[in-house]
Amino acid sequence: MMFPNKRMRRLRRKETTRNLVKETNLSKDDLIYPIFVEKREDTLDIPTMEGIKRFPVEGAVKEAKKVKELGIPAIILFGVPEEKDKKGSFAWKKKGVIQESVRKIKEEVPSLTVITDVCLCEYTSHGHCGVIKNKDVENDETLELLKKISRSHAEAGADIVAPSGMMDGMVKAIREVLDDNSFQDIGIISYSAKYHSNFYGPFRDAAESSPDFGDRRTYQMNPSQRREAYIENQLDVEEGADMLMVKPAMPYLDIIRDTKNRFNLPIAAYQVSGEYSMIKNAIDQNLIPEEAVLESLISIKRAGADMILTYFAKEVAKNEF
C-alpha cells in the first residue's frame, strides 16, 4: 500500500498516540552516574565539565544519597589519589580514596549499586593505564596490579568492578582473583570496546589522568575499527565479563548496534566527558535546547544500549520523561 492510502502521519497526530507507538523508552533505571572523589576537605568544580564536581569522601557519600533519592540505580566511582607513583600503588591501598568511599557509601546507601572503575591512569605519575617498560605499557605486569585493585575494591564492598584500561586478558585475570577470594558474586562490566578518543579530554582534567608522554594508541582501539570491536567483545565474553561496554557512545552508535545484535550480555554505553561538555556548552550558548540531552540518550538506547553511563543522569532524573 502506498500514498494516498498509506499515510504515516496518522500515528503522529496526537501525543498519546505517538507515545503508544514509541519504540524506545528511556528510564531512570537505565542510568549510571559517574562521581569523582578525592581526599581533601573542599569540593572542587571541574572547569571543563560544568555542573560536575570533585568531591571529598563525605561529599561523595552525600552525592550518592542524592542519586539514590532521584531514583538512579547505580554510580561509578573515579578516584584522584593523594599521591601518584610509577606503579600507581595508591590504587590498591586499603585506605585509598575509592576503598574508603565505597565502604562509607555502602554503609549509608546500601541499596545503591556501586561500580568502581579499575584502571591505573589516575594513579600513575606518568598517567598511563599500566606499568611502563620501554616507553610502553607492559600488559602482563599490569594485569597483576589490576588484580590487586579489583580485590581491594571488592573487599571494600563494591558490587561491580569495571576494568577500563584495555589490557589483554584483564577480565580473565580479575575474574580469577575475585573467585579465588570468595568474591564470586562481584560482577565485571568490561570496557570491552573502548576507543582511542578525543572525547575524553574533560575527564582527563577532572581526574588528572593525561599521559605525560605519548598517548594511549597502543592499548585503546583505533576509531576506524568496527570488526575489531567484535573480537574485543567476544574475548571479554569468553573471559567471563557479565556486561559489555562501548565507549564513547554517540560517535560509536554503529558499534553499540553491532554489539547488541551479536551478543546476549547486557550492554552499557558511556556518554563520555567530551560528549557531555559539548552538549552542555551548546545549550548554555542557546545553540540547541535542553531537550537535546534526552534526544542524545534516546539515540544511544535506540542503538542498543541497555544502560548508559552519563554525567546528565541527575538532571535527567529530576525531570519527568
Residues that bind ligand PBG (CB under 6 A): 117, 119, 121, 129, 164, 200, 203-204, 209, 216, 272-273
68 is catalytic: no
**Residue 111 or 124 with smaller CB distance to ligand PBG:** 124
Query: Nearest 5 degrees, angle CA 149-CA 155-CA 159?
Result: 90
Q: Could you write out the three-class secondary structure of 51-99? A: CCEEECHHHHHHHHHHHHHCCCCEEEEEEECCCCECCCHHHCCCCCHHH
Say how far apart CA 228 and CA 230 lie, in whole Å: 5
**Residue 162 or 303 with smaller CB distance to ligand PBG:** 162
Contacts for 48 with CB less than 8 Å, ≥ 6 apart? 201, 202, 205, 206, 273, 277
Say how far apart CA 225 and CA 26 lie, in whole Å: 28
Contact 109, 68 (CB under 8 A): yes
The residue of the chain with the least Cβ separation from ligand PBG equals 203
Q: What is the DSSP letter of 222?
A: P
Q: What is the DSSP letter of 271?
A: E
Q: What is the closest distance, in whole angstroms, from the C-beta atom of residue 273 to ligand PBG in the complex?
A: 3
Query: Nearest 5 degrees, angle CA 18-CA 293-CA 53?
Result: 150
The rounded Cα 11 to chain-centroid distance in angstroms is 37
Q: What is the closest distance, in whole angstroms, from the C-beta atom of residue 5 to ligand PBG in the complex?
A: 49
Q: What is the closest distance, in whole angstroms, from the C-beta atom of residue 78 to ligand PBG in the complex?
A: 7
194 is catalytic: yes
Can the peptide bond before residue 34 be classed as cis, meaning omega within 30 degrees of 0?
A: no
Other CB atoms within 10 Å distance of the CB of residue 192: 29
**Residue 180 or 228 with smaller CB distance to ligand PBG:** 228
**Residue 106 or 194 with smaller CB distance to ligand PBG:** 194
Q: Which residues pair with 307 in a beta bridge?
A: 268
The rounded Cα 27 to chain-centroid distance in angstroms is 18
Q: What is the closest distance, in whole angstroms, from the C-beta atom of residue 272 to ligand PBG in the complex?
A: 3
**Residue 164 or 233 with smaller CB distance to ligand PBG:** 164
Which of 87, 106, 247, 280 does the annotation list as catalytic? Answer: 247
Which of 68, 194, 280, 301 does the annotation list as catalytic? Answer: 194
**Residue 192 or 273 with smaller CB distance to ligand PBG:** 273
Of 48, 46, 52, which Cα lies nearest the Cα of 33?
52
Q: What is the closest distance, in whole angstroms, from the C-beta atom of residue 319 to ligand PBG in the complex?
A: 22
Say how far apart CA 176 and CA 153 lie, in whole Å: 15
- Cell, residue 187: 560482577
Q: What is the closest distance, in whole angstroms, from the C-beta atom of residue 160 to ligand PBG in the complex?
A: 15
Which sequence positions are flagged as catalytic? 194, 247
